[in-house]
């Protein structure tokens, strides 16, 4: 959708880092449009884009090895500001004559980074640091401030390239940041794009709005307006089938399509038996014939069909692909019932794409039912994914722009494979019932505690562990249930939420007493990374 976007654009060149889409997301927080391209993109194509800035991502390789991803020196001679992150920083130094080598001490996690001098990148960034002489420095403009940053590297810059000055260091990394202000080239060893970096968004803001001079004119209202127009042009007089799950993403996609093409759209809701408690009826109430959106709505009850396909399957990727393929097969069958259908609409968003390994050079983390889980042969002319370039919070903003009520826009995220990936091991109707009931209790108590809008995502998942317990003076041998709650903005990184202990205790007590088949309740403290938000 480039043709209708702001002329201000920053491009991200991907060298295989898992955070590539997240870099773009952070740039958009500065109201600057951003696109991602592989490091294999030709320099002439980059020149033709006329970007106001270029950001080089991290990656898993060592830049000094012969077969590692690289870019020509010409990239740094375009006169366009360039910011290298982690591998991108090392590559910049390597190509321009600096030295990169194996680090004597690997840094991973939250590391304190100290500034050696003032820099445009670190304007108004820093925390109080106690010096050896007992003096407390808190002036952001001094050379002695520090900030907490996320490191993840095996190599390090041992010698900056000619013309570069060292800007910051850590206890084990002598060049945590370097710059050549004259040529507008900047290199930082850490990852400012992840939430774990204390003031990372501010650092990127300093680059795109300060160094690059972007004014920040990209807004969600223009994205929605332009998307609707482009959908009309693409579809023409064709018929469209929308995969409606009732979740935030598919709901926003469905309403956007309805505003664009009206009764050319048919929404198919597949109840695969892996939804939350009462969710099938709730979706029909909102989007069905008595709902407010006047959609052509079809509900397909396919619970037994999905349970049959999943019988005996325990491997997570296989479960995802089975669910994804069955989704498409059901849609194909419904399409044949209503006649010729030209397009299939899905609520794919950026995290789905990057985690399925389709966002540039990144490795596959997991397949999504509407991205990596699609079968090779789909009986439609084309798939339309109007939200493919948006992160979750951007999808919600788009939903509000479309006039969707807040209670729907801010509904808890729910994966396409549903409870199939919140049940470790084989999926059965009995296990689904356990998770549905426990999850309903959990969500109810979170809402009662007034935490439902302050936590990014929370849900119950069933482990495959069974253990001995005692209930009513009798021995039990039942499942252990895991409670998950995270705080996140972009769903690419997340921290576990600090839920008051008394709330967790109440949830545990109710689950044990009200949900048959559970005799233990755990709380998952894992952040993302190293974990993922969902369990499978």
- Would you please indicate which residues are annotated as catalytic (active-site) residues? 86, 191, 193
Alpha helices in 262-416 (DSSP H): 279-287, 303-310, 316-338, 350-355, 392-401, 406-409
* Torsion over CA: 509, 515, 521, 524 (sign): negative
- CB 66, CB 41: distance < 8 Å: no
Which H, E and C letters describe 372-396, residue by residue?
CCCCCCCCCCEEECCCCCCCHHHHH
470: left (phi over 0), alpha (psi -120 to 50) or beta: beta
Kindly state the tokens that stand for 377: 């042969």
Which own/partner pairs from 435-439 qualify as long-range (CB within 8 Å, at least 24 positions apart)?
Answer: 435/460, 435/461, 435/462, 435/481, 436/275, 436/276, 436/277, 437/277, 437/514, 437/515, 438/462, 438/481, 438/511, 438/515, 438/518, 439/276, 439/277
CA-based end-to-end distance of the chain: 33
Backbone torsions φ then ψ of 155, nearest 5 degrees: -100, 165
Exposed, middle or buried: residue 234 (CB in 10 Å: 0-12, 13-18, 19+)? middle
**Quick one: which H or E segment has residue 240?**
strand 240-243
* Among the listed residues 324, 323, 388, 318, the one whose alpha carbon sits nearest the alpha carbon of residue 351: 388
Rounded CA separation 98/162 (Å): 7
Which H, E and C letters describe 440-468, residue by residue?
HHHHHHHHHCCCCCCCCEEEEEEEEEEEE
């Amino acid at each position: 959708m480039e043709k209708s976007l702001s002329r201000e654009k920053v491009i991200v060149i991907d060298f295989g880092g898992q955070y590539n889409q997240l870099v773009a997301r952070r740039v958009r927080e500065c109201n600057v449009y951003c696109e991602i391209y592989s490091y294999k993109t030709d320099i002439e194509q980059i020149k033709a884009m006329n970007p106001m800035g270029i950001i080089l991502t991290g990656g898993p390789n060592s830049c000094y090895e012969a077969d590692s991803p690289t870019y020509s020196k010409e990239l740094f001679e375009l006169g366009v500001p360039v910011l290298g992150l982690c591998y991108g920083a090392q590559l910049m130094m390597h190509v321009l004559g600096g030295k990169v080598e194996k680090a004597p001490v690997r840094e991973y996690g939250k590391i304190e980074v100290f500034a050696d001098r003032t820099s445009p990148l670190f304007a108004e960034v820093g925390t109080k640091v106690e010096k050896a002489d007992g003096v407390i420095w808190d002036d952001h403009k001094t050379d002695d401030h520090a900030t907490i940053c996320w490191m993840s590297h095996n190599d390090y810059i041992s010698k900056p390239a000619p013309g570069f000055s060292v800007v910051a260091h850590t206890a084990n990394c002598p060049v945590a940041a370097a710059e050549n202000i004259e040529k507008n080239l900047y290199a930082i060893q850490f990852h400012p794009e992840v939430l774990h970096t204390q003031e990372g968004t501010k650092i990127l803001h300093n680059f795109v709005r300060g160094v690059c001079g972007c004014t920040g004119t990209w807004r969600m209202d223009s994205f929605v307006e332009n998307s609707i127009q482009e959908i009309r042009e693409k579809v023409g007089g064709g018929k469209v089938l929308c995969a409606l799950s009732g979740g935030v993403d598919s709901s926003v996609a469905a309403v956007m399509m309805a505003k664009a093409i009206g009764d050319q759209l048919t929404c198919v809701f597949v109840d695969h038996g892996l939804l939350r408690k009462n969710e099938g009826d709730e979706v029909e109430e909102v989007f069905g014939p008595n709902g407010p959106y006047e959609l052509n709505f079809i509900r397909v009850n396919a619970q037994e069909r999905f349970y049959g396909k999943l019988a005996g399957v325990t491997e997570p990727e296989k479960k995802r692909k089975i669910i994804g393929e069955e989704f498409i097969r059901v849609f194909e069958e419904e399409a044949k019932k209503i006649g010729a259908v030209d397009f299939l609409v899905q609520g794919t968003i950026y995290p789905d794409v990057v985690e399925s390994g389709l966002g540039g050079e990144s490795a596959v983390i997991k397949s999504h039912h509407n991205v990596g889980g699609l079968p090779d042969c789909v009986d439609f002319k084309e798939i339309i994914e109007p939200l493919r370039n948006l992160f979750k919070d951007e999808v919600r903003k788009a939903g509000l722009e479309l006039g969707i009520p807040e209670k729907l826009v801010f509904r808890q995220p729910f994966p396409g494979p549903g409870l199939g990936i919140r049940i470790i091991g084989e999926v059965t109707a009995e296990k689904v019932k356990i998770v549905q009931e426990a999850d309903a209790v959990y969500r109810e108590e979170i809402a009662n505690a007034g935490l439902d809008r302050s936590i990014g995502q929370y849900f119950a998942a069933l482990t495959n562990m069974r253990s001995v317990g005692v209930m009513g003076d009798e021995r039990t041998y039942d499942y252990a249930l895991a409670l998950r709650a995270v705080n996140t903005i972009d769903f690419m990184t997340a921290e576990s939420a600090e839920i008051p202990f008394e709330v967790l205790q109440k949830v545990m007590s109710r689950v044990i007493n009200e949900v048959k088949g559970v005799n233990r309740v755990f709380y998952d403290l894992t952040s993302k990374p190293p974990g993922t938000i969902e369990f499978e």
